[in-house]
Amino acid sequence: MAGQHLITLDPLTLQEIRQLLRNKATLALSPAVEQALARSHAYLHQHLAAGPAPVYGINTGFGALCNTPVSAEHLETLQRNLVMSHACGTGDEVPAEVVKLMLFLKVQSLAYGYSGVQPATVHRLLAFFNRYVYPIVYQQGSLGASGDLAPLAHLCLPLLGMGEVRFQEFKLKGHEILDIFSWEPIRLQAKEGLALLNGTQLMTAYGALVCLRARQISAAADVVAALSLEAFDGLSTPFLPQIHRVRPHEGQVKTAARVLGLLSGSELQTRPKAQVQDPYSFRCVPQVHGASLDALAYAEKVFTTEINSVTDNPNIFPEEGLILSGGNFHGQPLALALDFLSIALAEWGSISERRTFQLLSGQRGLPQFLIQEPGLNSGFMIPQYTAASIVSQNKQLCTPASVDSIVSSNGQEDHVSMGANGAVKAYQVVQNVERILAIELMAAVQALEFRRPLQTSPALEKVVAAYRKVVAPLEQDRVLQPDIEKSIRFIQDFPFEDLMA
| Residues noted as catalytic | 56
In order, the DSSP letters of 428-490 are HHHHHHHHHHHHHHHHHHHHHGGGTTS---HHHHHHHHHHHTTS---SS----HHHHHHHHHH
Q: What is the 3-state secondary structure (H, E, C) of 228-255?
A: HHHHCCCCCHHHCHHHHHCCCCHHHHHH
In order, the DSSP letters of 321-346 are TEEE---TT--HHHHHHHHHHHHHHH
Q: Which whole-number Å values give the CA distances from 138 to 202, 212, 400, in the listed order?
A: 10, 22, 21
The residues near 296 (Cβ < 8 Å, ≥ 6 apart) are 211, 214, 215, 218, 341, 344
Per-residue DSSP letter, 159: G
Query: Cβ-count burial of 62 within 10 angstroms (0-12 exposed, 13-18 middle, 19+ buried)?
Result: buried
Residue 175 amino acid letter: H
Distance of CA 319 to the CA centre of its chain: 36
> What is the torsion angle, in degrees rounded to the nearest 10, for the CA atoms of residue 213, residue 429, residue 299 and residue 304?
-50
Taking the C-alpha atoms of residue 109 and residue 148, their distance in angstroms, rounded to an integer, is 14
Q: Of 359, 363, 298, which is closest to residue 334 (Cα–Cα)?
A: 298
Phi, psi (degrees; rounded to nearest 5) at 106: -65, -45
Handedness of CA 396, 398, 404, 409 (dihedral sign): positive
